[in-house]
Amino acid sequence: MSAVLDYFRRVRNRQVVRPWALCAPVVVLIIALPLLRPLRAPGDVSENELSRLAAIEAYVEHDGAAINDTQFFADLRRETDQAAPPHGSRAVPGAIVVANKYYSDRPPVMAYLLSWPYAVMRRLGWDLSTNPALVVYVLTMLGVTLPVAGAAGLIYRMGRMFELKRPYRTGLALSVALGSGLIGYATVLNPHAPAAALVLSACACLFHVTVARNPTRSGAWLMMSGLCAAFAAVIDLSAAVFLLLLIVVILTFRWNWSLRFGGILLYLIGTTPALLMHAALTVPVTGDLRPGFLHTELAGVPSPAAASTGTSDELEEGVSPQAPWKIALFRGLDRSLGALVGSKGLFSHYPVILIGLLGLALVLRRHWPASTKAMAAVTLAGAAIIVASYVFLRVDWTQAMFGPRWFIVFLPLLLFWAGAWLRKTHHKTTWVVAAVLLIFSMTVSILGAAAPFVRATPGQYTVVAAYRHLVNGEPKRPTTTMQIVDGRP
């Protein structure tokens, strides 16, 4: 704790306003705040967002997690009536049923944390019944937009690792915030953007420890790193990969082994508040640590194994049933290509990530500190594990959300390593190619920020669909609680 107190004591002797450091967060806020979904499209709400809003309302107004009596639960049921679910006979999308009560099927920690500011707003006279758009706007700003702006500031701070001048660090921060898809998810209530910001925060704390003069006074930063990584994991389960892998970075510190193991212990101590909160909110509902969406038996959805035996698929595709390995190989390749370059692919949306991969390669093969190399290796390993997991688990890529939303958690950290590439000299043609990739990625990201959710045919929500939605609009849908309440828009 003394290290943190020393840090704030030194702040008093520093320059109070740093224009280069504030540039990236301010730009993010200028772009995102006018595009927040409750302001731009108050009635265009996704199933996932409705589920979280129902949980927030339940925690504050009904003193529990059951969402039966919330107004957003009525919207979820209306979604079921208007469009049949694509698979199975799910009772209510975004909800599970336990003992004749409905609960949100999303991880509960994010909704529980956002219920605190909503409780304050409700005491001030703002509630979801009389002014839903304003309340959801503030919740989105607090829970998503401000963390994204803070992440841009962290990138500027972490850019010191590459010994870049301040304008270059600002450019790196803007490139990461606007070119990695982070800004695209800064305008709607979702767990991916805040989880990505928390992963960056965990890495920034470890970076601060590596440059600390006295390792024995860095315990608070190690605990803060564990806390950020754990909250990222309980908000977005994909981030659990980084919660485990960041321990490798601590093992590479230039400390004696007793200090390294002590650092790991402090890191694990920092993870306990978030993990205990997740357990306290999840176990009473589902009976274990798995959130509701991982309990298909509670949502009325048949398991993948029961839904298909595999024989009919083999016959339909014209492949001999004697060659199951060929089927698995072709499906794996198809899903891998779809995840990377498909209509919702990583590189088809954010090709500037290639520059981040080049920066990673430079760090891993050049003479950098062991902890820096370990953090680069953790970034690459975490990204590979997350991509492979979603390919192997056969997740539904037809959901009507923008781009590869499951990869947002690692894309900003991956693009951050472009700073190693940025510090090198390159040919003019190389700079032009990099600029084209960046401009394309930024355009796609901002397009996603303007239209994060579009009701389209399953599997057809692409960049082109988002553009057409912005230019031509779409047919008006029946009124929901988010559009008109008590006769007022």
Give 172-208 pLDDT, tens digit per residue: 999 999 999 899 899 999 999 999 999 999 999 999 8
Distance CA 346, CA 407 (A): 8
- Among residues 269, 174, 192, 203, the alpha carbon closest in space to that of 233 is found at 192
Query: Does residue 317 have a pLDDT over 50?
Result: no
Q: Which string of b and e fits 426-454 if b means at least 16 CB within 10 Å?
A: eeeeeeeebeebbebbbebbbbbbbbbbb
The pLDDT-based confidence of 403 (bands split at 50, 70, 90) is confident
Contacts of 359 (CB under 8 A, 6+ apart): 417, 418, 419, 420, 421, 422
Distance CA 218, CA 213 (A): 9
Query: Does residue 70 have a pLDDT over 90?
Result: no
pLDDT confidence of residue 426: 87
What is the residue-averaged pLDDT of the chain? 82
- For residue 115, give the amino acid letter: S
Distance CA 424, CA 93 (A): 50
Rg (CA), the chain: 23
Q: What is the pLDDT of residues 334-391, one digit of tens each?
A: 777 777 887 777 888 899 999 999 999 999 988 888 999 999 999 999 999 999 888 8
Q: What is the pLDDT of residues 418-444, one digit of tens each?
A: 999 998 888 999 999 999 999 999 999
Query: Does residue 459 have a pLDDT over 70?
Result: no
The pLDDT-based confidence of 324 (bands split at 50, 70, 90) is confident
